Structure 1
Amino acid sequence: MKSASLSQLGNWADLPFFTDTWPKIDAALKAEKRQIFPPENQIFAALEHVAPEDVRVIILGQDPYPTPDHAHGYAFSASEDTRPLPKSLANIFKELRTDVGSAPGSADLRFWADQGVLLLNTALTVPAGEPKGHAHLGWQELTQQVLARLADRPRAYILWGESAQKVAAAVDADRNLKIQSGHPSPLSASRGFFGSRPFSQVNDWLHAQGLATINWTDT
């Protein structure tokens, strides 16, 4: 596996992670015998898409989809032509329909990123067929540094699952909107994810802050 390019990271590039931790992760990825997702040129896609100063909402997940042609560098999002939808995303769309009345027409959630939603996983790579297979490479150092960078002003945080909630434990729930629930995967969606209405909560909070709301459905 080639090294992921860091040239498009903009203001994220000065995070200590890229000097202190990334070289070790990069070496581990190059030594990996299994197929890795997402492709190396998409590993940092979410950070490349949304500069720190433009982030209004953070959706934090676990790790990329471990299925070929699904993961493209954005948490929970998948390539536009992905059919059927990944199971977690299908549950997200089900909650969207309950919460705001409709859901996007495809698996590609990059239009959320266009609006300042950072779709970040706590681990940015995964081996084929092995969820959490790269959870111990050191990716959480990046997640924690990203969250620290974003502590400069109030933002909305959607934390789905134990991995996200653990790494974001220091996020101030009094200063920020901090929504925590079960992960949308079929194994846990019924334990607090369904019925949590995170999308309308975020928009209510943004509106109260005098900020533009998020178009979650692309309609």
Structure 2
Amino acid sequence: MIFNNDWDEQLKEETEKDYFQELRYKLAKEYKLHKVYPPKEDLFKALKLTPYEDTKVVILGQDPYHGPGQAHGLSFSVKPGVRIPPSLVNIYKELHSDLGVPIPNHGTLV
């Protein structure tokens, strides 16, 4: 089990494939040898926080955050106290102009 919820069943076949096992091995090695973002415990955070049954859409970011304190396993989100990245500022602006959603003063999407 990787996600500890219904994502495990949905992705079981995929996570058992050779390429996925090789990827897990490579990631484990990278975490031992280098500073890697997000922290290991935040890998797949979105899937751990939201059961498959409750998921309406999955958004994948093109360029992951790579600075200390930025990446924490959720596309476009940053931890509390971290400056809101330009990409998220743009998302907030679009949500506000299209739907009237108030613009938060933080970048945490949890």
Give the TM-score band, short-chain normalised.
Answer: 0.7 to 0.9
Residue 78 of structure 1 aligns with which residue?
78
Give the 5 Å matches for 1:81-96: 81-83=81-83, 85-96=84-95
Change in CA separation of 1:19 and 1:63 when aligned onto 2, cut-off 3 Å:
farther
Residue 28 of structure 1 aligns with which residue?
26
Flag structure 2 segments of 5+ consecutive residues without an equivalent: none
Runs of 4+ in structure 1 over 3 Å off: none
CA deviation after TM superposition for structure 1 residue 22, in Å: 2.9
Q: 1:17 aligns with which of 14, 18, 33?
A: 14
1:58 alignment partner, SS class? coil
CA deviation after TM superposition for structure 1 residue 77, in Å: 0.9
1:99 alignment partner, SS class? helix
CA deviation after TM superposition for structure 1 residue 63, in Å: 4.5
Q: Is this contact kept in 2: 1:12–1:47, CA < 8 A?
A: yes
1:38 alignment partner, SS class? coil
Q: 1-side partners of 2:72 and 2:106: how far apart?
A: 14
TM-score by length of 2: 0.79
Residue 117 of structure 1 aligns with which residue?
none
Flag structure 1 segments of 5+ consecutive residues without an equivalent: 111-219
Residue 46 of structure 2 aligns with which residue?
46
Change in CA separation of 1:92 and 1:73 when aligned onto 2, cut-off 3 Å:
same
Query: What CA RMSD, in Å, does the superposition of the two structures yield over aligned residues?
Result: 2.0
CA deviation after TM superposition for structure 1 residue 88, in Å: 0.9
Q: After superposition, what is the alpha-carbon deviation per residue over 1:135-188, rounded to whole angstroms, capped at 9, x for unaligned?
A: xxxxxxxxxxxxxxxxxxxxxxxxxxxxxxxxxxxxxxxxxxxxxxxxxxxxxx
Q: Could you say which structure has the higher helix fraction?
A: 2
One-letter amino acid matched to 1:9: N
Q: 1-side partners of 2:20 and 2:63: how far apart?
A: 17
Q: How many residues align?
A: 104
